[in-house]
Structure 1
């Protein structure tokens, strides 16, 4: 087999539309002459509304701003551009919309392009036939897929693997606009087409799809230098660097577990990965293995539940606060008498969240004490916006005027900051499809139609203007931001004073993942040997059961610990408390870590 010639890939940002520094982008183009600019544009992080409402992640102006320099580079520098999951959800509609934006920019700037678009919408009859054949399964702790789920879905897409991109690359397009894709698919495809080992291609893609997030400090733009059996990561910002620890740690981000990353057609095994600092800015990575499995793709689909109206207000009266649960339940029952359909199905519901007690964590909250004031957030779902508003208005008025034991304040119970007091929040959706479907041979390509487009401009191309020599040199000679190690107490201390990172995040719509990372081997071993981050600890801190804990493990390459649990409420739907899952880590912060060599100690804040 021919030797793989070293080549570069530039990723300007982890999400198209989020913006990046133009000077650093053009510095990367000029210095590294990348073979491709590749960027991911998809995520379920925002919840199900994007598929449900045909809303893109960012506004049109943000996409055009980010696309313009990419198209300048594609035309003037002959650099291929690949974009995955265009628009955010990667629906067929958004493939069309992003294509029209690209076409408009090209025509306005006088650029001719050969463009491939790849659709990801799925035929519902195919899904139903696979359900009947027993060839679908939940992806994570989702319920079993039913034919009703498929038929009621507003839209359904499938996450394509690398094969449709490989097929499109055979036709040598200048630009590929992919529908819903497994996040690293476009990256892996470009590298596989050039002879990189699958483990290298997929591992690079899993990191680069987030742009410069693995840099220190966290950044936006990154260069990957590819070889057959290894790759290097170099941030484009002069202040940033990649370290072995920062790169290894990124494999924990939004993942159920960091050592096994499943995707279409295989699982990426990271046990043997090696991370080497080769310059102050650059880390080299090798050793990952891609292990083929029977080919499956993930389906994503959403169902409309109804329409939402919300209200919010404060309560400062200590007499009412002391009986708030009983009070709100009486308000619910009073409203149910007026609207008998309320709380009889998932399509007509009243939800309360009490800020100052457990609004953020809900049933996971270990500390149910309240302060001197609380905020009550009310949410009403109903079949129409008018009915939702009517019920919410009645609930809020009841909360305002309902009597309670020991009441002294007779003018009102509820401090409303908004006028009008109720706010219509529009349609509400839920993820009804988040499932794997078995594919037959060849369907990994045939299910994702590729269309070639020739865009011909009618005017002379615009002259390219990039960086001056002074701008280039300013970035080239920029100073790295110093690495600051955390000073760790020698005695017993809370985990917040030992760890470098304590965080939480979604891992898909049905899982919540917790990460603890350390700066040094000593700090990591101190946490690990204390044997505090056990299932028993998680059960006490988060009030979950054994069956709710999906993963609890240490990951040596990142000096890290990870635990993934089932999400106790539906992401981005009725009753949501933390759409991105970023504020569920707090109970970990107060775990007391003993000095090195000591036995574990009781957990702070672990009582129910």
Structure 2
């Protein structure tokens, strides 16, 4: 157990690769003297493509710059650095990608360090099937039970780990820890929990820290600190022109929660029923009353499967007559195109339209009609998905051409009713994936689906 009564954590930003103030980071490391620098590097928010394709949604250049900045400041001071959800989606290719960047930096900057790597991609799919067959899986925003077919069809499956694997790797005193898919709060909470601090407080602190200064005024992807005591946590931003306020921290405490009083995670629930949030200083906030309620241990699985190749086309419409008739016109375009495709031997997995300016961003359920006062302009995004990239692009071209020349009631012009901002108007997007697994599984061992390695790099080590 830690003999100190406080544990100090610095989060440099809300997402690695999205930027933060180097000046404020360096100054805060020096003045705040953190026990841990930790950062979240990923999310499912950008969609299933990145998990399925094994690609990062942030650039290599920015990731390399920011990791270099973190380790350059922390390594000489013996401050451990934890990077979770490496490469965005946290799969094995993403983890290897970040690992390669660290190795490259170590060679360039003559770093000598102990590197811990935690892989959470699942290879043993038979084990998952056993769990499903034993009735130890459940839906999690998936809308369907987990099946053996879904497990077989997934291009990649990851387990969203809790804090236990990170705590285990710290037994070997690493300088830098890279983690695949992991609960965002666990990136920050694992080490203080290992040091004997309350799991509820540490998990709550991690949930606020994972977004950096988005829990401050003004908001920004920037530095945020937390001091975890035995019965409290104090938040304060790194930049002097920002403030942690009761309003900003309370508001962020509601982030990503169905129930504002509960923060569910692997192994239990953080209970916020009796929380008090008070202004500590002009720039800091104190939170007390957080409790942790143990629950049977669950891990969230995320799996993506390929559903074909996507192409897209953007069309602008300003004709008020066409705009008024647009819902029925788009259905006419779809049905006419599908008949032509059938004659040509082409088959689309899906043809869809998103009408920006009307209802492209769904909020609950909307009727497929325009409001009483229709917009003056509508942007239509055509999306086609087919088995091959060539077919997808050909089908998208057919749909765009049909929209360009479609007839509709009250039509005055036979051409020029639809504008395309690009030439070619249609463009390939690439492989298309969907989340086929988004489920919870019950496990006895929190570390069952994690693989931990620790190695020396730099100096005389390869």
Q: TM-score, normalised by structure 1?
A: 0.72
1:340 aligns with 2:320: no
- Aligned mate of 1:225, from 220, 224, 227: 227
1:182 aligns with 2:183: yes
Task: Give the drift of 1:91.
Answer: 0.9
What CA distance in whole angstroms lies between the structure 1 residues aligned with 2:108 and 2:356? 51
Which stretch of structure 1 is more off in the superposition, 97-106 or 138-147?
138-147
1:439 aligns with 2:443: yes
Superposition misfits of 4+ residues, deviation over 6 angstroms: none
Which stretch of structure 1 is more off in the superposition, 2-11 or 190-199?
2-11
Per the alignment, in what secondary structure is the counterpart of residue 360 of structure 1?
coil
Alignment-derived partner of residue 211 in structure 1: 212
Per the alignment, in what secondary structure is the counterpart of residue 216 of structure 1?
coil
* Superposition map of 1:219-258 within 5 A: 219=220, 220-258=222-260
Alignment-derived partner of residue 287 in structure 2: 285
What CA distance in whole angstroms lies between the structure 2 residues aligned with 1:162 and 1:154? 26
Alignment-derived partner of residue 388 in structure 1: 392
Considering Cα pairs closer than 8 Å and 6+ residues apart, tell me whether 1 or 2 has the greater RCO.
Answer: 2
Alignment-derived partner of residue 130 in structure 1: 131
What CA distance in whole angstroms lies between the structure 2 residues aligned with 1:314 and 1:36? 50
CA RMSD of aligned residues (A): 2.1
Change (3 A) 1:341 1:157: farther
Task: Show CA shifts across 1:200-227 (max 9, x none).
Answer: 1111111111111111111310111121
Task: Give the drift of 1:323.
Answer: 2.4
Gapped regions of structure 2 (runs ≥ 5): none
Alignment-derived partner of residue 272 in structure 1: 274
* Superposition map of 1:528-543 within 5 A: none
Gapped regions of structure 1 (runs ≥ 5): 460-608
Task: Give the drift of 1:163.
Answer: 0.6
Alignment-derived partner of residue 463 in structure 1: none
Alignment-derived partner of residue 36 in structure 2: 36
What CA distance in whole angstroms lies between the structure 1 residues aligned with 2:114 and 2:63? 20
Change (3 A) 1:128 1:5: same
CA contact (8 A) 2:2 2:195 kept: no
Change (3 A) 1:409 1:13: same
Change (3 A) 1:341 1:189: farther
Task: Show CA shifts across 1:531-552 (max 9, x none).
Answer: xxxxxxxxxxxxxxxxxxxxxx
Per the alignment, in what secondary structure is the counterpart of residue 144 of structure 1?
coil
Task: Show CA shifts across 1:84-129 (max 9, x none).
Answer: 1111111122222211211221221112101110000112111111
What CA distance in whole angstroms lies between the structure 1 residues aligned with 2:108 and 2:322? 63
Alignment-derived partner of residue 480 in structure 1: none
Which stretch of structure 1 is more off in the superposition, 315-324 or 152-161?
315-324
Change (3 A) 1:341 1:261: farther
Task: Give the drift of 1:409.
Answer: 1.2
Per the alignment, in what secondary structure is the counterpart of residue 213 of structure 1?
helix
1:59 aligns with 2:59: yes
1:155 aligns with 2:156: yes
Change (3 A) 1:388 1:450: same
Alignment-derived partner of residue 47 in structure 2: 47
Task: Show CA shifts across 1:237-287 (max 9, x none).
Answer: 111111122112111122222211110111111111111212111111121
Change (3 A) 1:357 1:97: closer
Alignment-derived partner of residue 377 in structure 1: 381
Alignment-derived partner of residue 403 in structure 1: 407
Per the alignment, in what secondary structure is the counterpart of residue 304 of structure 1?
strand
Q: TM-score, normalised by structure 2?
A: 0.94
